[in-house]
Amino acid sequence: MKQSFESNSLHIVKERARYFFIIDKDVDRSMEIIVLIEGVHNDRGPIKGTTIVNSIDPMCSSVTLLKGKKNILIDTGYRGYEDEIIARLKEEKLTPADIDVVVNTHSHLDHCYNNHLFTNAKVIYGRNVLSPKKWDVVSAITIPGINIMETPGHFPDHRSILVKSDQTYIIAGDALREDIVRNQALWKTMNDEYTMNAKRIIAVADVIIPGHGRIIQGELLEELRRIIASRQ
């Protein structure tokens, strides 16, 4: 089943929990924001008879493609998702070799495990344990309409990606998660940097693509803003 929604120049298609954001900036500089994989993070709790206090399965970050003159991938997901990423790229008539830039929000493996697939890409931030010397690692790259926000808290060097068009889109990694916002006890365990940057993100974004969980926009965004505003 496929549903289509129209909102000004934003066209959203939802099919099997995948969302496609098409930004019509102008004829020559159009860009698509395509969520290839919607992030999952299922906490199963402790495993009896072991020292494991929380088993997480399945676990994978969102994988987001910025498709345009340069093909940019935000986070590359976790082990076991390689085939799905390649298949989703194929639907966009791309291969891993067509990715020009990889930006990792941070270096936790569920966000950067599959960097090794993108051998032609410049990588912003991400080195992982698989092939740390394989890529051209850069600290910054200039792309019209795209900015990197430093959003430490979940991780000291965490960053989020802001895409500005008719609306402000933030690919937030783990800097803002709906489940943490909703759980007051869990929110209180977050450090000051995390809560400050979560407030920054939710104040300026029209659409948030989190590292784990559903896309945050519209009524859901307004609801989470009210919850965060009520937190002390």
Q: For residue 189, what are its two tokens?
A: 């365990």
The whole-number pLDDT of residue 165 equals 76
How far apart are alpha carbons 217 and 88 in whole angstroms? 23
Backbone φ and ψ for 38, nearest 5 degrees, come out as: -85, 125
CB 40 within 8 Å of CB 57? no
User: pLDDT tens-digit profile of 171-227?
Assistant: 999 999 999 999 999 899 999 999 999 999 999 999 999 999 999 999 999 999 999
User: pLDDT tens-digit profile of 24-35?
Assistant: 343 335 678 999
The whole-number pLDDT of residue 69 equals 84
Per-position DSSP letters for 158-180, written without gaps between them:
-EEEEEESSSEEEEEETS--HHH
Hey, what domains does the chain have and what are their CATH numbers?
A: 3-230 (3.60.15.10)
How far apart are alpha carbons 204 and 191 in whole angstroms? 21
How far apart are alpha carbons 218 and 210 in whole angstroms? 15
pTM above 0.75, yes or no: yes
The tens-digit pLDDT sequence of the chain (232 residues) is 222 223 333 333 344 333 344 443 433 356 789 999 999 876 656 556 666 555 556 789 999 999 988 899 999 999 999 999 999 999 999 999 999 989 899 889 899 999 999 989 888 765 444 444 444 444 555 666 788 888 999 988 899 999 987 789 999 999 999 999 999 998 999 999 999 999 999 999 999 999 999 999 999 999 999 999 998 6
The whole-number pLDDT of residue 182 equals 94
The whole-number pLDDT of residue 35 equals 95
CA torsion 231-17-208-67 (nearest 10°) is 170
Provide the β-strand partners of residue 178.
none
Owner of token pair 């909703």: 182
